[in-house]
């Protein structure tokens, strides 16, 4: 735990802690003892901590090492006078994706190792899909859900266009690489080094910065703002909307997607209200591959203006809706690390019998424990992560899937 373990040993310790309650009890005891020892000593000494002043000492060997390192760096700089080419390599992939080359060639099967060059486009085609890209400079990007990313030729920048969807980026600071610049329908987002995520819709972009800072220009009026770590901004297509960096709100552990306001439902069609005034949203068809159409409704935490939502053991997803035929529906959640990068997707199948009679409204509550990871690399549970979105899928057109309410509930007290 102090950094001396190798990756294999670290994984063993993690497995031990996940599976062995006694090991966790011991670790908690150590943590408790550490803070109580410090507390008792603090009271005993009854004096504030003094800051430690470290006086630099002259160490000739350190200067020699520094000089050698500087020489190597200088040599590397001279040799690499031109920055690396702007490319992105697919390093991991899940679900239906499409690659559109700059010359217009389309490939519906994308493999790990595919190299994207300027002009190339990659699309993730369903709520459960994602692609991780390596930007050949230690920087990483992930797009997920329904997203479309293109590599652009922008002077002095590594240019991208995110037409719609979700993107998580970790841009590593490197001396010889150019800044990253991402164009959306409403903004240009630029950074030299930052960890941030971006959610893009036709009339709004939401940028959330967790580390470093990014500069954002609102295309509607050319206004710019620097978004520092722990801050976020909503960039609207309208000049009348406010455009300022605001501190990220404190997280909560529940979410009620405000469907009447309509902003949380990022992929669904609004249907006329029921006689008793209940709002309804219809699932939208989505072609995920040749001869494969699904019907999806997608609800985003960030777009609904909610604070970040934390996933706990015992969290539940409660959906109300209707289906016109007897068949299963699928619930899905997208997760990301707390103030961090994309984590993964989890889905749960809801059998037809749980939905009751076809045509009648149903309410289904699925506990977190019934969600399964979409890839083998993910742990069994996303507890401890942050919720990005919830989606509901029906594979049948005749089901006419309608959604009336979407809630993410905390664990029950005493659970």
Partner 1 sequence: MSQRDRVSAAAWLVVRNAHTAEDIFQNVALKAMTKGVQFESVGALMSWAFITARREGIDWLRRQKNAPICLDNTILELLEQEWADEAAAGDIRGQALRDCLEDLPAKSRDLLKRRYFDGHACEAVAEQLGVRLDAIYKRLSRLHQALKKCIEIKLEQPAS
| Binding residue for partner 1, selected from 12, 42, 85, 239, defined by CB under 8 A | 42
Q: Does 69 bind partner 1 (CB under 8 A)?
A: no
Interface with partner 1 in residues 253-272 (CB under 8 A):
253
Integer CA distances (angstroms), 330 to 4, 297, 301, in order:
43, 11, 19
**Residue span 315-354 as binding mask against partner 1, x where in contact by CB under 8 A, dash where not:** ----------------------xxxx--------------
* Helix (H) or strand (E) run with residue 255 in it: strand 255-256
| Binding residue for partner 1, selected from 9, 10, 108, 365, defined by CB under 8 A | 10
Q: Does 91 bind partner 1 (CB under 8 A)?
A: no
Shortest approach of partner 1 to residue 338 CB, angstroms? Answer: 6
| Binding residue for partner 1, selected from 9, 12, 18, 106, defined by CB under 8 A | 18
**Residue span 218-237 as binding mask against partner 1, x where in contact by CB under 8 A, dash where not:** -----------xx-------
User: CB under 8 A: which stretch of 41-49, 58-66, 120-128, 325-333 binds partner 1?
Assistant: 41-49
| Binding residue for partner 1, selected from 37, 69, 112, 287, defined by CB under 8 A | 37
Q: Does 49 bind partner 1 (CB under 8 A)?
A: yes
How far apart are the C-alpha atoms of 111 and 97, rounded to whole Å?
9
Nearest to 135 by CA among 181, 79, 90: 90
Q: Does 72 bind partner 1 (CB under 8 A)?
A: no
Integer CA distances (angstroms), 124 to 5, 130, 132, 207, in order:
37, 6, 11, 20
| Binding residue for partner 1, selected from 35, 79, 175, 275, defined by CB under 8 A | 35
Phi, psi of 356 (to 5 degrees): 75, -155
* Helix (H) or strand (E) run with residue 320 in it: strand 316-322
| Binding residue for partner 1, selected from 83, 100, 211, 396, defined by CB under 8 A | 211
Integer CA distances (angstroms), 271 to 258, 280, 286, in order:
15, 5, 18
Q: Are the CB atoms for 108 and 290 separated by under 8 Å?
A: yes
Shortest approach of partner 1 to residue 259 CB, angstroms? Answer: 23
**Residues sharing a CB contact under 8 Å with residue 176, sequence separation 6 or more, in sequence order:** 77, 80, 83, 84
> DSSP state, 126?
S
How far apart are the C-alpha atoms of 382 and 359, rounded to whole Å?
33
Shortest approach of partner 1 to residue 314 CB, angstroms? Answer: 8
| Binding residue for partner 1, selected from 83, 84, 185, 251, defined by CB under 8 A | 251
Of the pair 248, 325, the CB lying nearest partner 1 is at 248
Of the pair 229, 237, the CB lying nearest partner 1 is at 229
Of the pair 62, 278, the CB lying nearest partner 1 is at 62
Of the pair 16, 80, the CB lying nearest partner 1 is at 16
DSSP codes of every residue in 213-250: EEEEEETTT--EEEEETTEEEEEESSTTS----EEPPP
Interface with partner 1 in residues 172-191 (CB under 8 A):
none
Of the pair 103, 412, the CB lying nearest partner 1 is at 412
How far apart are the C-alpha atoms of 255 and 240, rounded to whole Å?
28
User: CB under 8 A: which stretch of 83-91, 138-146, 159-167, 250-258 binds partner 1?
Assistant: 250-258
Of the pair 88, 309, the CB lying nearest partner 1 is at 309
**Residues sharing a CB contact under 8 Å with residue 188, sequence separation 6 or more, in sequence order:** 181, 182, 216, 217, 219
Q: Does 29 bind partner 1 (CB under 8 A)?
A: yes
3-state SS of the chain: helix, strand, coil percent to 5? 15, 45, 40
Q: Name the residues that contact partner 1, by CB under 8 A.
A: 1-3, 5, 10, 14, 17-18, 21, 24-42, 49, 211, 229-230, 250-253, 310, 312-313, 337-340, 379, 381-385, 410-411, 413-414
């Amino acid at each position: 735990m102090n950094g001396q373990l190798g990756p294999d040993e670290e994984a063993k310790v993690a497995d031990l802690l996940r599976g062995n309650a006694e090991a966790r009890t011991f670790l908690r005891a150590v943590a408790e003892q550490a803070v109580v020892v410090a507390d008792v000593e603090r009271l005993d000494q009854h004096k504030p901590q003094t800051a430690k002043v470290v006086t630099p000492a002259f160490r000739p060997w350190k200067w020699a090492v520094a000089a050698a390192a500087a020489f190597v760096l200088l040599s590397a700089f001279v040799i690499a006078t031109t920055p690396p080419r702007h490319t992105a390599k697919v390093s991991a992939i899940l679900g239906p994706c499409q690659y559109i080359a700059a010359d217009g060639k389309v490939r519906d099967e994308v493999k790990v190792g595919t190299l994207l060059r300027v002009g190339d486009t990659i699309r993730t085609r369903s709520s459960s899909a994602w692609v991780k890209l390596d930007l050949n400079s230690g920087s990483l990007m992930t797009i997920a859900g329904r997203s479309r990313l293109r590599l652009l030729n922008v002077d002095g920048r590594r240019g991208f266009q995110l037409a719609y969807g979700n993107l998580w980026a970790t841009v590593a600071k490197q001396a010889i690489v150019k800044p990253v610049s991402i164009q959306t329908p409403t903004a240009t987002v630029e950074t030299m080094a930052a960890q941030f995520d971006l959610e893009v819709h036709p009339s709004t972009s939401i940028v959330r910065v967790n580390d470093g800072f990014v500069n954002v220009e609102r295309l509607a009026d050319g206004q710019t703002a620097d978004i520092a770590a722990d801050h976020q901004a909503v960039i609207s297509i309208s000049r009348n909307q406010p455009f300022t960096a605001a501190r990220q709100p404190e997280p909560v552990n529940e979410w009620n997607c405000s469907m009447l306001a309509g902003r949380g439902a990022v992929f669904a069609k609004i249907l006329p209200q029921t006689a008793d005034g209940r709002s309804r949203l219809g699932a939208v068809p989505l072609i995920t591959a040749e001869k494969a159409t699904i019907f999806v409704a997608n609800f985003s935490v960030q777009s609904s203006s909610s604070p970040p939502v934390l996933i706990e053991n015992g969290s539940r997803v409660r959906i109300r809706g209707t289906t016109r035929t007897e068949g299963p529906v699928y619930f899905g959640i997208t997760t990301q690390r707390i103030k961090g990068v994309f984590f993964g997707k989890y889905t749960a199948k809801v059998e037809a019998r749980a939905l009751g009679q076809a045509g009648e409204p149903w309410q289904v509550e699925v506990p977190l424990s019934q969600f399964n990871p979409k890839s083998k690399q993910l742990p069994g549970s996303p507890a401890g992560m942050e919720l990005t979105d919830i989606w509901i899928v029906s594979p049948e057109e005749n089901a006419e899937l309608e959604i009336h309410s979407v809630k993410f509930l905390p664990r029950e007290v005493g659970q």
